[in-house]
Amino acid sequence: MPMMKRAWPLAALSAVIFLLGVSGFAAAQTTQSPLAAYMLLGPNGTRIARVITEVKDCPALFVDGHVVEMQVRSAAGIAAQRQTASRAELSKASAFPATTCEAAIPSDARQVSVHGWLLPLPPKTIRKIVVIGDTGCRIKAADNAVQSCNDAKAYPFATVASAAAAWKPDIVLHVGDYLYRENACPEGVAGCQGSPWGYGLDAWRADFFNPAAPLLKAAPWVMVRGNHESCNRAGQGWRRFFDPYPLTPERTCDVSEEDLSGNFTDPFAVPLGKGAQIVVWDTSDAGNKPFAQDDPRIGVYLANVRSIASLTRAQPHTILANHQPVLAIAGSRDKDGNVKLGPGNSSLAEILAGIDPKLFPSGIDLLLSGHVHVWEQLSFAGLYPSQFVTGFSGTQEDSVPLPESLPANFSLMHGAVPDAFSSWIDGFGFMTLERTGAADWSVEIHDTQGKVVERCTVKGRISKCRTRQVHAG
């Protein structure tokens, strides 16, 4: 991929605009840099440039030396106050004092820039993938949970993002849950004093755009929506910034009566080249408990699963990315303090089983998810895809430990018995996938500094890791 060596000075940009004789791009001549500029990969691998700017009009984008007009995706404004996951007195309307702009980038474009910032493009064949998840700093009144957002050790997402960028990925996959600063930092708690809160742009900047900046520059992103981005939480920002589809009024999450539209997204595929693809599934509104029989979400999720099966047929090797892991283990404690092992996500497993008793189409080899705040890997002797969980990239880690070995006869949803299980329960970091064959990947687990603490291999549906449980120094 050809890269511009350094940012263009603003004077040079203005001169280029003048020489090109471009009219109608008044905003292009502003000297105000955008708050963020990044590249998303959307349905069928479409490249989507997004820019967030405090200027009313969208800036000009330069694509291979030509000026491309960006469209306003959402204008600056204060979104309607809506019912949120928090009590009314702990909620507020979400302010977005910035314009979100977008432009579709041709698949043969070689260089894209805005205000002298180069936007990354993917290579033709994608071989190196950074996988992160659960990256926000938790401030949640209902759980009395407060993470020290101002302490880079207690909340290390910025460090993780820098180290992941240094690995030089072709693309980044985020498996969901970006915004956790839902309520005000309690008085007297030094670790989070001064933090913005709620679901507006200020909270998005603190929890995502600022710490993620080096990784947004490093590569295009495939973004999965987590339950923290459902309509009654950070859905309004999710739709403005990261949803790859057009922003239509019923999908804005502004009105709770339209949540059945706002909480769902058609699954889409991002080709990786040479017979592989990632399929993205928005399961942000699926809880962990089985749905009631008359729950209207059942029909939408069943349609999603049929669509996933259809997408899967386009390539021999599919990675399915969604937020809540169907086939992973989460620890909890009963009232006597004993550790209980949760056997995966029952609501999604029931939906999948409603279409296929084997849960997943045979073309799906690998499941990538987050939600559980640990790293873990499970393999099922090829009967099911391997499941990896990467909910360990910034949000407070789970406090209930997972065992080094699973109890005898332990099974997950629908009797899925893991024959390999590895975990890292007390450390932050990121995972990398490097393609080594048609359906094969070399997997590394990195700590916050990028040091490799675990290595695994994926061969089709089978995965193996070196150690049962990581205990990084």
For Fe ion, the binding residues (CB under 5 A) are: 177, 226-227, 371
Q: Using CB positions, name the residue nearest to Fe ion.
A: 371
Least Å distance, CB 121 to Fe ion, is 30
With CA atoms as reference, report the closest residue to 393 among 417, 374, 376, 413. 374
- Say how many CA atoms lie within 13 Å of 26 toward its Cβ: 3
Least Å distance, CB 141 to Fe ion, is 18
State which residue, 122 or 226, has the beta carbon closest to Fe ion: 226
State which residue, 226 or 343, has the beta carbon closest to Fe ion: 226
With CA atoms as reference, report the closest residue to 91 among 17, 170, 181, 24. 181
**Euclidean distance between CA atoms 435 and 126, whole angstroms:** 8
Buried b (16+ CB within 10 A) or exposed e, 199-224: bbbbbbbbbbbebbbebbbbbbbbbb
**Euclidean distance between CA atoms 80 and 82, whole angstroms:** 6
State which residue, 361 or 370, has the beta carbon closest to Fe ion: 370
Q: Which region, left, alpha or beta, applies to residue 203 given φ > 0 means left and ψ of -120 to 50 means alpha? A: alpha
State which residue, 177 or 207, has the beta carbon closest to Fe ion: 177
State which residue, 243 or 444, has the beta carbon closest to Fe ion: 243
**Euclidean distance between CA atoms 473 and 465, whole angstroms:** 19
State which residue, 211 or 226, has the beta carbon closest to Fe ion: 226
Least Å distance, CB 177 to Fe ion, is 4
Least Å distance, CB 371 to Fe ion, is 4
Least Å distance, CB 427 to Fe ion, is 19
Least Å distance, CB 417 to Fe ion, is 25
Least Å distance, CB 51 to Fe ion, is 28
- Say how many CA atoms lie within 13 Å of 447 toward its Cβ: 12
Let me know: does 90 contact 96? Beta carbons within 8 Å: no
With CA atoms as reference, report the closest residue to 268 among 260, 257, 255, 277. 277
State which residue, 181 or 435, has the beta carbon closest to Fe ion: 181
The tokens describing 415, both together, are 């009797």
**Euclidean distance between CA atoms 439 and 318, whole angstroms:** 8
